[in-house]
Amino acid sequence: MPTITFQYGDQSFPVQAEAGESVMMAAARHRVPGIDADCGGGCSCATCHVYAPEEAALPEPSDMEKDMLDFADALTDASRLSCQITVTRWTASLT
């Protein structure tokens, strides 16, 4: 089972995720702070914004995700919407 380590401020939250679920769902199931996911994963709120490390080697975001990321605060090149990332067998750190 993949482990995703979320970092929020100076705290780390390692969570067990199910392959096939979204990173947002794994965070929500473990009540990770900072991931509100107001739209429930519909790619229409940007409140599931995370920073994905380059070593996660994620697929490129879709055009829909890119458009919604414009509404996220503190956007960087590492910004992603966690509801649009499907958990695979990798282990990652997300902030």
Under the rule (CB under 6 A), what is the footprint of ligand FES?
A: 24, 37-39, 41-48, 68, 81, 83
Nearest CA to 80 out of 56, 89, 90 is that of 56
> Given the complex with ligand FES, which of 10 and 59 has the nearer CB atom?
59
> Given the complex with ligand FES, which of 10 and 72 has the nearer CB atom?
72
> Given the complex with ligand FES, which of 40 and 53 has the nearer CB atom?
40
CA distance 85 to 63: 14
Smallest gap from Cβ 18 to ligand FES, in A, equals: 17
- Both tokens assigned to 70: 């414009």
Q: What is the dihedral of CA 14, 79, 36, 70, to 10 degrees?
A: 180
Smallest gap from Cβ 9 to ligand FES, in A, equals: 21
